[in-house]
Structure 1
Amino acid sequence: MAKDVKPTRKNLMQIEDRIELSERGHDTLEKKRDGLIMEFMDILDQAQDVREDLDDSYERAQRAINMARAMEGDVAVRGAAAALKEHPELTTQSKNIMGVVVPQIESSKVRKSLDERGYGVMGTSARIDEAAEAYEELLENIILAAEVETAMKKMLEEIETTKRRVNALEFKLLPDLYDNQEYIEQKLEEQEREEIFRMKKIKAKKEEEEDELAAAEEAEEEAEPVTADD
């Protein structure tokens, strides 16, 4: 790359400006990368807790529905599920974490009272109520897991993008700029040495010519005949 750069002082100044800008950008991106990693680790800890809660709630829901089917029968369980009139509602908003836009899911009508479930108190048992509560809790954990997992994925993508940009600056752009800077400085130093050498030669040549001229004038004066006074 250095061979394509003309060794001029103007180009050297431009490269020095680019180096300064790139170094500042590199430092900024490194800080962003480190901050993103810290945020990601916090979300990762939260995701692990959410996954554990999700697994636990899934197992409880499975036990509850199996018990309800065993005690009340599959038809009664399906009838209770079909009686639901108001389904859960989800709204998606967004929040900003160090420049990364991640989703924020708000849910409503997930947890319901006995009346809101639609199947009524009469004709059902506590086993169906327990199964309904267990699945409502499971749904809440699924929604939370979706939010956290999506945020974690977006943060990880941004970390990888930032790392690539840091590496591009650190291992490609800045080394090329340093090489160009060194190349131009060396060429300018060579040009300066050549100019000094050329000026010395010109000065020596001029002094030599002056000495020759002085010697010639002196020789002429010595050769000029002396005339006697009348």
Structure 2
Amino acid sequence: MARLNVNPTRMVLTSLKKRLKVAVKGHKMLKDKRDELMKQFLELARENKSLREQVESYLNNVYSNFVIASAVMSTEVLEEALMYPKQGVAIDVKNKNVMSVDVPVFDFKTTTDDASNIYPYGFANTSAELDNAIENQFKIFPELLKLAAVEKEVQLLAAEIEKTRRRVNALEYVMIPQFQETIKYIQMKLDENERGNQTRLMKVKDMMLKEIIEEKQANTNAALDEYSQNH
């Protein structure tokens, strides 16, 4: 792992140790977040599968009834019966926060006070299959909205999991090893400089001691010479 290109000083070493501490803490938090996101993602995936199967079952029923209704009714009567819908809906979209991810929540309100008032035609000229198709469409609408919300939440959580995974890997395999390698390098350089300084100090000390000894020896010799001359 390549180390960072920095000056090997104690100030840089202190800064890198702080950054390493923050990176390790951030790595743990992101891993916990990733694991929790995965747990919620798997739960939503199972819910999504169940909802989709339920919705598809309802839709197959609706399509079957429409096919039968179109077979037993003339095209003109069928089109006239469905030309002017009696019921409408207004979709309300809100958001909820799931692990710092904003996911949609869908709700709806019918345009009339009586939500069950869904048949835009009289029953004299229409078939029971058309009634069943309209009724099943009305029943399935809330589940369709719920399925849409769950599928969108699954997509958003999947994107957030991938983004979190990349951050975890970047910290685990790039940033933290770089900090550790750089700290090790700086510490080694500082220790090497300290040993060099100690060696130089010892040499200076030895030179000073040698000078002192030589000076004392010279003074002693001078004193001996003077004593010899006087006696």
Normalised TM-score (structure 1): 0.91
Q: Where do residues 24-63 of structure 1 align in structure 2 (5 Å cutoff)?
A: 24-63=25-64
Indicate the residue corresponding to 2:105 in structure 1. Answer: 104
2:100 maps to amino acid: G
Residue 89 of structure 1: CA displacement?
A: 2.1
Structure 2, unpaired ranges of 5+ = none
Extract unaligned runs of 5+ from structure 1: none
Please give the secondary structure, in 1, of the residue aligned with 2:82: helix
Matched positions, count: 227
How big is the alpha-carbon RMSD for the aligned residues of Structure 1 and Structure 2?
1.9
Deviations 1:114-161 (A, max 9, x none): x44221233323222111112223433332221111111011111111
Residue 40 of structure 1 contacts residue 155 of structure 1 at CA under 8 Å; is this kept in 2? yes
Partners of 1:162 and 1:3 in 2: how far apart?
A: 24
For residues 132 and 85 of structure 1, the distance between their equivalents in structure 2, rounded to whole angstroms, comes to: 11
Instruction: Please say if residues 89 and 109 of structure 2, whose CA atoms lie closer than 8 Å, have aligned partners that are also in contact.
Output: yes
Query: Where in structure 2 are the equivalents of 1:67-216 lying within 5 Å?
Result: 67-109=68-110, 112-113=115-116, 115-216=117-218
Letter in 2 for 1:157: A
SS at match of 1:4: coil
**1 CA distance for matches of 2:36 and 2:167?**
15
Matched position secondary structure for 2:91: strand
More off after superposition, 194-203 vs 136-145: 136-145
Q: Which moved more, 1:39-48 or 1:63-72?
A: 63-72
> By how many angstroms is 1:112 displaced?
4.8
Structure 1 pair 73–3 and aligned structure 2 pair: CA distance change class (3 A): closer
- Over the matched positions of the two proteins, sequence identity in percent amounts to 28
Deviation at 1:3, TM superposition (A): 6.2
* Structure-1 separation of matches of 2:4 and 2:220: 55
* TM superposition shift of 1:31: 0.6
- Residues 83, 117 of structure 1: 8 Å contact kept: no
Whole-Å separation in 2 of the counterparts to 1:116 and 1:145 = 22
| TM norm structure 2 | 0.91
Instruction: Classify the secondary structure of the residue corresponding to 1:121.
Output: coil
